[in-house]
Amino acid sequence: MGGCFSKPKAVEVKVELSLLEKEKEVDGLSPNGKASPFADCRPNGALGHGSEDDSGLLPLNLKTRDYVEASVCHVKDLENGQMREVDLGSGRALLIKEHGEFFAMGHKCPHYGAPLVKGVLSKGHVRCPWHGACFNVTTGDIEDFPGLDSLPVFQVRVEKEKVIIRANKQALQSQKRSKPMARCSSVIHSSAGFSHVLIIGSGPAALVCAETLRQEGFTDRIVMCTMDRHPPYDRPKLSKSLESTAEQLRLRSVDFLQDHDIELLTEKEVAAVDVKTRTVTFEDGLKMEYRKLFIATGSKPKPMNYKGKEVKNVFHLQTPEDANSIARLANNKNAVIVGTSFVGMEVAAALTDKAHSVSVIGIESLPFKKALGEKVGKVIMKLFEANRVKFYMLNEVSEMIGHHGQLKEVVLKSGKVLRADVCVIGAGSVPASGFLKQSGIHLDSKGFITVNKMMQTNVEGVFAGGDVVTFPFPPRNNKKVNIPHWQMAHVHGRVAALSMMGRAAEAKTVPYFWSAMFGKTIRYAGYGDGFDDVIIQGDLDELRFVAFYTRSEEVVAVASMNYDPIVSRVAEVLGSGKTIKKRDVEMLARLGKTGDISWLIRQRLPLTSHLQLQKDPVDNTTWTPMVLRF
């Protein structure tokens, strides 16, 4: 192909400098009635996209040497709905054409660096092929999660049928940006026992809540308290990268939080909440009053009954220190994993190149059977067995036996005795809500906090989100469900923040999660709880497949391995409110068109979506979208 995929030619770099047009004045008020500190700013400080009649404008105080400008392709090289990754000399950008207009922005997802050119373009946003985050093509703003940062956007214009991009060199290198945030204008001493917003927890729901408040112009005090000793970190990586430090895993530094007036209290465990006096009491005796409270305490390990709980070197993976200790103690030793949860299985995979032996104990017949189905569970189990992992299924732990206090053996209820120097328990979790039992905040029979679509509890001024809640889920007729995904917690945090500020908001997203083991990744989108059938396309034995999960006659979820970006494509369809029928997936499976969802354009389907596909010129097995409209 020609255009951007041909060998790059030398280009003449031109930089033009002119005045910025005066921004239109925007009226913005923070919750305390003060003017928003960024009422006169564009949302991301980016330059607008230009046309042939718009030369594109730069602030006078920006030096021309900080910018690069290059002709990247001919105007006809891209069809509507196409994306290309282009080289500007000082870095790469994602060039997009939609509805006859060109857009340019960062080419890597700020979350884990996925190439967005492999993602899905639809309705003015690009969805990441790895984890489903969405970015607005005009502003670069993150619109769906996971991730905290947005993308830089670059100026585009067309001259003499050439597409020209002008970009800030630093933005090209960083490939991410933080949205502007307000600062706290309230004069309150840091030791004062009052916060306008008090957040319990420091996971994604808590952090996104705090950042969203600042992004939306909230200028009063925000305090975030956590039992952790570290600033917020990327917890899903704990089980995948056991030797990573808290510093390597951090989501935001202490300096970042301080710069945006988000106060962090570490190693603070909540003892009780008094909703009448709006007071939170901590185990160390500290009391803090609040105006708004957000509870995002997540989950804690499910209690287990076995003898020998005093034995050392038995871990529930909860902190970076736990992960580091597990990796150190397992080196050339015998490791036992109790439970076939995603966390447990990821730890088992991570230990195979460190430990002398790895054994996994599970109460079901297959790992992931409930979540992914029997067929997928079987091939995952084979993958682990091929990597020296031994399974003891339909079994439970009876006793941990130690020598001089150190773990030496794990006894199963079947009578089998396993040699063990370190044990990791990943056998499920329960909501971390015990401190709320006498609070008046409603908990269901399992201990989950029940919230409405705006993340509000039954108590005025109290909100909750993340793994600790059940919330109304529109695809299941607003049945209250618990979805303990990292991505979903981000959504809850944003909705709660907007609700606190009186903005209409609800959790409208497609659940999305991923798991990595032995260099392979399972991606999953949707809510498959209670699925009654699984339709497989592809080759399970080759670990290159797509699994559609159905309830009755509709697809409710999809999982894949080595078939990016089909999970993100299906997430885009489900997120638009469209229905994927089981009969159409079955027909697709019979035709053997794995990964191809062009069947959605068929006229007899109640859809108005259109998807045309083009073979990727780099990887003939990967499909990239040309058009996806709703």
pLDDT in tens, 575-626: 999 999 999 898 877 776 655 555 554 423 333 333 333 333 333 333 333 2
Per-residue model confidence (pLDDT) at position 329 = 98
pLDDT in tens, 85-109: 999 999 999 999 999 999 999 999 9
Q: How far separated are the first and last CA of the chain, in Å rounded?
A: 28
In this chain, the answer to whether the domains covering 194-300+432-500 and 523-629 adopt an identical fold is: no
Per-residue model confidence (pLDDT) at position 622 = 34
* 214 pLDDT tier (thresholds 50, 70, 90): very high
Per-residue model confidence (pLDDT) at position 62 = 52
Per-residue model confidence (pLDDT) at position 597 = 59
If one looks up domain 3-174 in CATH, what number appears?
A: 2.102.10.10
- Phi, then psi, of 221 in degrees rounded to 5: -70, 135
- Its CATH architecture, for the domain 523-629, is 2-Layer Sandwich (3.30)
Residue 61 has pLDDT above 90, yes or no: no
Please compute the mean of the pLDDT values over residues 6-30 and round it to a whole number.
Answer: 33
Residue 475 has pLDDT above 70, yes or no: yes
Per-residue model confidence (pLDDT) at position 24 = 33
The 10 Å Cβ neighbour count of residue 396 is: 17
Q: Which fold has domain 314-427?
A: FAD/NAD(P)-binding domain (3.50.50)
Task: Sort 469 into a burial class: Cβ within 10 Å, 0-12 / 13-18 / 19+.
Answer: buried
Residue 336 has pLDDT above 90, yes or no: yes
- Domain ranges (residues) in the chain: 3-174, 194-300+432-500, 314-427, 523-629
Q: Which fold has domain 194-300+432-500?
A: FAD/NAD(P)-binding domain (3.50.50)
CA-wise closest residue to 214 among 183, 187, 185: 183
CB 257 within 8 A of CB 338: no
Residue position matching structure tokens 């997540």:
298
DSSP string, 18-81: -PPPPPPP---B-TTSPBPTTTTS-SS-PPPPP-TT------TTS-GGGEEEEEEEETTSS-TT
Per-residue model confidence (pLDDT) at position 588 = 78
* DSSP E strand stretches across 190-242: 194-200, 222-225
pLDDT in tens, 339-360: 999 999 999 999 999 999 999 9
Per-residue model confidence (pLDDT) at position 186 = 77
Please compute the mean of the pLDDT values over residues 506-528 and round it to a whole number.
Answer: 96
The amino acid present at 229, given as its one-letter code, is R
Per-residue model confidence (pLDDT) at position 193 = 80
